Structure 1
Amino acid sequence: MEVRRDMRGRMAKWCASLALTLLAGRAAAQAPGDIVDEVVVRGPEKTLPSTVQAYSRIDPGDELSYEELDKVERRLVATGLFQEVKVRTEPTGPNRVRLILEVEDKASWVVAPTFALSSANVGGGLLYAENNLWGRSKKFGTAVQVSTAESGVFAGYLDPNLFGQPQLRLSVEGQLRSDRVDEYDPGAGQEDPEVVRRTRINSASIATEFGVMLFERVRAAVKYRLMSVDAKSPDPQEEVTTPAFSIGPSQRDASLRLMVGIDTRQNLHAVMEGLNLEASYEVSNPGVWSDFRYRRYGLLYRHGLRLFDEHNLVLRAEASAGVDLPFHQELVLGGNSLRGFVHRQFRGDTRLSFTAEYHFPLFTIRSLSFRGVGFSDTGLMAWRDLPDDGVLRDVNGRVVRGYLPDSQSGLRGSTLAQGLGAGLRLYLRNIVLPLVGVDAAYGVNSGEFRFYLVAGVSPT
């Protein structure tokens, strides 16, 4: 009897203890977070404490949970300003804490050479970039590039923290540019695509974009671009010498672009995480002070998945369609946009593309990380409906596009191409250094291998 009573007593105590544990766990899960009395920033040598706190999105009086601490750390890492970030709290009273933000700045500026090496585009230049102007995370960059296909001067300013609000974003950019635009025989199966017509286009442009981020996931933006474009006569040594674009005085091309979408992406050092879905609409007409009339629609999907801690699967899909696009605004594929093929080999007014990249760590030497990448690029390019006489004119009768004689519209004239390959990426953790990479790609259609080198930021 005594043994039974003892067992019943122990069982009752165990059940009571379990019930108390479950209730305590439930209460803890439902308990409100601590109240922040103070936000303290430690460690930055250049970045202003107010900038660090603005990116944390935490102010005195806010409620802070353990889950929110992890979000704060990710927000600070995703700025790209810091090589080290630590976020913790100190108690200041019952259910009250002090938030400590410890950060270590990256070197914020760089002067570096830039290189471009791909089929039909070889060259280089010099880049200066400042990633943290005045300690307020403002960004400025300027570059000069000379290459066989694209040469020019670029300058841009980006404020991702407008008025101290990370939800607001403003950019201004301008460039002087000279493009050698090559058009090739249609088809993706050519081992060495032949240039049919070569046109030189000179342009000067300025653009500004204002964006708003709501709830850290919904992004909307409006962009206005103003360009002066001047096309030269085609190269007389090529097969086709009729102009692809009206020759004469420079013309004004202005457009207004509207974009809205979901964007949860964060670049956490060498790994990109999050989802981006966006739709865009661009219009050019006299109402926005343009000499042209065209429209462009776009849908974009980007997704970064972290795997095995430091591995990264990055997916990108895009659908674009233009209406009455002039020659200099046509959609293109090839080179770095479709590896395994010649730079801007394919042209059209309708484009579908899909890229999958798998990034993985190789080894690290101090702060320099070497990462490998395997990739697959697929693209479909087509003309939807070409004019019967092969010439697109505006309302004033001016030629804005003279198509090649053998151009075909619809699925019959479309091109489907795929490239497979692998590459190497270099990532420097303690400095704001543009991505350095080299890729080797196999064009499935043509059976050709091509190599691509990009070091720095190109004005394009």
Structure 2
Amino acid sequence: MSGRVVKWCAMLGLALGAGQAGAQEPGQVVDEVVVRGPEKTRPETVQAYSRIDAGDELAFEELDKVERRLLATGLFQEVKVSTEPTGAGRVRLILEVEEKASWVVAPTFALSSDNVGGGLLYAENNLWGRSKKFATAAQVSTAESGLFVGYLDQNVFGLPQLRFSLEGQLRSDRMDEYRPGAGQEDPEVVRRTRLNSASLAGEFGVMLFERVRAAVKYRLMSIDAKSPDAKEEVTTPAFSTGPAQQDASVRLMVGIDTRQNLHAVMEGINLEASYEVSNPEVGSDFRYRRFGLLYRHGLRLFEEHNVVLRGEAAAGVDLPFHQELVMGGNSLRGFVHRQFRGDTRLSFTAEYHFPLFTIRQLSFRGVGFSDTGLMVWRDLPADGELRDVNGRVVRGYLPDSKSGLKGSTFAQGVGAGLRLYLRNIVLPLVGVDAAYGVNSGEFRFYLVAGVSPS
């Protein structure tokens, strides 16, 4: 009996030793990387996104990671990653991809309470075959109209770790202020102001270890306010009229971002903190600060089901009218577009996405959601006016505005919607939502197709 025990123990020791040796065995060395299939995307761009070069060690379990990296670029509808032996402990890495159509011309639509309109969008997702992105859009709607031009390089100098963007906007916004309270069935507009603006912004970011992201953004804006609509109850200006003013700011951001969009499913987590400052030292006529914390999380369930969570905490100090925090519409479904305003905002959204059916390349997905928000004025000036560094009024608050928790607004909306995705083309998301405002007891509908200048 004792001999058998010794024998079994010896065999068990050998098995464990073999398992540990296998776990510690180094990966195979990549002799070369071969790219097959792309018609437009340059092979070096595909290889750069794989993050694998000749001479690297490659373990078998990394093949799936490489495939996910390529799918997450949004450039390809199909990706296959494999190896071929080239010698003892050496392989050839093969990246086979099937591209999406890289450009689109499409109409855009916006339909929500107090904001109806549409326009035209042109977007190129793969400039010069190097995954650079360019988009331009024109939109006319009841609340916000304008022109937008944007360029995004998420592969600077062939390095996916570096990211640069540049965007410009011309906008005309109808800024409505409503009587306080989330329980109104038909919210009453008490002041209506037209704001015209032109802006240019550039951002440079870096991604470290495929998860740590930092960025700096500089924005320059010219802002011009018109006199309030004389038909509304309050006609004192929310923002001084006269010569256009210059608003410039620097925004710093750092965070963890492991998100990947794999066709219609988003996976991973994003945690980030931001700080924005505007003052004469950066070229601004204003002086304000803004702090933010953001949480986003995507969870895949049952292969094609997706739980998407989003939470945000934002606070501003001496925010002028055009930089105030807002909620309502697509940012808080169940309520009017930009119905609530303040300098401090807490919000949380939970969505459950699930597949319905697919017709060839067109996928129909359902979504159930809950939007919750809290908006507060922390400390309003005693005279109801906020002035810039030159003494000019940059915010005239409504007479019945209250600060602190007594004047806060808590609102919640729940509902369901439909999403459409095209697998083989770079096409903006099309969605329709029906939302019930828990506070007001009202149903509201939202349609979004494409992107808007906002």
Q: Normalised by the shorter chain, which TM-score bucket?
A: over 0.9
Which residue number corresponds to residue 417 of structure 1?
411
The range that moved more, 163-172 or 27-36, is 27-36
Identity across the alignment (%): 86
Structure 1 segment 183-332 matched on structure 2, within 5 A: 183-332=177-326
Residue 48 (str. 1) matches residue 48 (str. 2):
no
1:134 equivalent in structure 2 = 128
Alignment match of 1:106 (pick from 100, 120, 124): 100
SS of aligned partner of 1:434: coil
The C-alpha deviation readout for 1:311-341, integer Å capped at 9, x for no partner, is: 1101100000000000000000000000000
Say yes or no: does 1:334 pair with 2:332.
no
In the other structure, the counterpart of 1:400 is: 394
Q: Which amino acid aligns with 1:41?
A: V
Q: Which of residues 151, 158, 167 in structure 2 aligns to 1:164?
A: 158
Residue 179 (structure 1) aligns with: 173
The 3 A distance-change label for structure 1 pair 14 and 102 is farther
Query: 2:305 & 2:452 partners in 1: Cα distance?
Result: 27
The residue type equivalent to 1:139 in the other structure is K
Residue 185 of structure 1 deviates from its aligned partner by 0.2
Identify which range, 388-397 or 306-315, moves more after superposition: 388-397
SS in 2 for 1:230: strand
Secondary structure at the aligned position of 1:387 is classed as coil
Task: Say how many residue pairs are matched.
Answer: 454
Distance, in Å, in 2 between the alignment partners of 1:11 and 1:351 is 68
> Which residue is 2:21 aligned to?
27
Structure 1 residues 156, 236: closer, same or farther in 2, change over 3 A? same
Give a deviation string over 1:211-253, Cα, whole Å, max 9, x none: 0000001000000000000000000000000000010010100
Distance 1:219 1:11 in 2: 56
The answer for the alignment partner of 1:83 in structure 2 is 77
Once residues 446 and 37 of structure 2 are traced to their aligned partners in structure 1, the CA distance between those partners, rounded to angstroms, is 40
Q: Equivalents in 1 of 2:9, 2:426: separation in Å? A: 58
User: Structure 1 residue 25: deviation in Å?
Assistant: 2.5
Q: Which residue of 2 aligns with 1:38?
A: 32
AA at the equivalent of 2:60: Y
Amino acid at match of 2:257: D
Please tell me whether residue 365 in structure 1 is matched to residue 359 in structure 2.
yes
User: How far did 1:71 drift?
Assistant: 1.1
Equivalence for 1:351: 345
Q: In the TM superposition, what whole-angstrom CA distance separates every residue of 1:138-163 from its partner, at most 9, and x where no partner exists?
A: 00000000000000000000000000
Equivalent-residue separation in structure 2 for 1:293 and 1:391 (angstroms): 15
Partner of 1:62: 56
Greater CA drift, 16-25 or 132-141: 16-25
Equivalences for residues 426-437 of structure 1 within 5 A = 426-437=420-431
Partner of 1:123: 117
408-417 or 16-25: which moved more?
16-25
User: Which residue in 2 is equivalent to 1:143?
Assistant: 137
Contact 2:421 2:430 (C-alpha < 8 Å) held by counterparts:
yes
Letter of the 1:129 counterpart: A
Q: In the alignment, which residue of structure 1 is the partner of 2:374?
A: 380
- Equivalent in the alignment of 1:389: 383
The separation in 2 between residues aligned to 1:11 and 1:444, in whole angstroms, is 70
CA distance in 2, matches of 1:188, 1:29: 59
Q: How far 1:27 sits from its partner (Å)?
A: 1.5
SS at match of 1:100: strand
Q: Is the 8 A contact 2:254 2:272 kept in 1?
A: yes
CA distance in 2 between counterparts of 1:20 and 1:363 reads 52
Residues of 1 paired with 2:356 and 2:212: CA distance? 35
Distance 2:274 2:20 in 1: 45
Q: Counterparts of 1:140 and 1:75 in 2: how far apart (Å)?
A: 21
Name the CA distance, whole Å, in 1 between partners of 2:214 and 2:236: 42
Contact 2:125 2:132 survives alignment (8 Å): yes
* SS of equivalent residue, structure 1 residue 66: coil
Quote the residue 1:3 is aligned against: none
TM-score by length of 2: 0.98
The AA in structure 2 aligned to 1:374 is G
Q: What is the CA distance between 1:66 and its match in structure 2?
A: 1.6
Which letter does structure 2 place at the counterpart of 1:399? V
**TM norm structure 1:** 0.97
